[in-house]
Amino acid sequence: VVAVDLRGCGDSDKLAFRYQYTTDILVEDVASLIRALERESAYVACCGLSGQVGWSLAYKYPDMVKKLVLFHAPHPYVIRQHFHSSLMHYIKGWYYLFVRLPFLPELAASLNDGALIDSLLKPLIREKAVTKDEIEAYKFNFTTYSEWSGALQHMRQISLAPVWEDEAPPRVLSTPTLLIMGDPDALTPIDLAYRSAEYVERITIKPLSGPPRLVHQSKPTQVNRVVLEFLREMPWKPLTPATSSLMGRVMGAGMFAVNKTTDVWQMSQNVGILGMAKASLDIAEAKLGFDQL
């Protein structure tokens, strides 16, 4: 297992300019690391903001990614669709727009004497999933303007461009994918996970109760069990055109999430039965063109 600090994070180089953190550059960083380890392929796990890098890596180098594990990181295309579908999303996700400003976000974060760290880690503190020493370590790593800049540059690279009518949808990804979702937030409600199934040939969706993007830290035992189970599965055979349908992918993803009695209660807490049904029906209507009637 290799855990990496991407550029701008931890002990990795803190590069100064936004153009040095593009998704394409980050993808090449990860691909170069896999090659440097003298491996032709790897299992790749990405959490939250780095999910966009994982998706892009699998698209650009499909043979390099054996399996893709994502923590609260739906497909970037459906995130863009969702973000611009309602004015309320701009209000609820204001911080994604604020961080795109130059200098001011770094200044605000570095001057608050660790209060932002306390706020970000509050869900873990409430669940006693993080110790006081770990909180202090986070604060130690984010004490200066330059240390905040690297992390914020990653947020600035999240694609939130509108999806125009003439824009071609992304191709269907063949990489076996596990998408673990925590509790919904403003940018990533649970239905985006099921909408992501439209663009993945084989996807397993696993909702777990826990803070979004931090579910792997709040529920480490459950997450590790789900991930290991997914990685140990036999390689999937390619789907034939007859079976590689949208409904098949959505139903396959949904059924995996609810076919164990221990999981049903967690899912109903997160989205409710009606929410699950509505998400699937919305996808089907859009695919069949019923939403245009």
Predicted confidence band at 282 (pLDDT cuts at 50, 70, 90)? low
Joined tokens for residue 68: 């893709």
Q: pLDDT above 70 covers what percent of the chain?
A: 80
Question: What does the buried/exposed string (b/e) look like for 58-95 if buried means 16 or more CB atoms within 10 Å of the residue's CB?
Answer: bbebeebbebbbbbbbbbbbbbbebbeeeeebeeebee
Whether 197 contacts 249, CB under 8 Å: yes
Neighbouring C-beta atoms of residue 188, cutoff 10 Å: 24
* pLDDT surpassing 80 at residue 166: yes
138 in helix, strand or coil? helix
The predicted structure's pLDDT at residue 34: 97
- For 42, 125, 139, 272, 284, the CA distances from 203, given in Å and listed in that order, are 18, 32, 36, 21, 17
Predicted confidence band at 185 (pLDDT cuts at 50, 70, 90)? confident
Predicted confidence band at 116 (pLDDT cuts at 50, 70, 90)? confident
Architecture of domain 35-93+175-292: 3-Layer(aba) Sandwich (3.40)
* pLDDT surpassing 90 at residue 25: yes
The predicted structure's pLDDT at residue 184: 85
In the chain, domain spans: 35-93+175-292
* pLDDT surpassing 60 at residue 250: no
pLDDT digits (tens, 9 = 90+) for 129-162: 888 898 888 888 888 888 888 889 998 988 899 9
The residues, ordered by sequence, that sit 6+ positions from 199 with a Cβ below 8 Å of its Cβ are: 75, 77, 78, 169, 170, 171, 172, 173
The predicted structure's pLDDT at residue 256: 40
| Distance separating alpha carbons of residues 115 and 216, to the nearest angstrom | 23
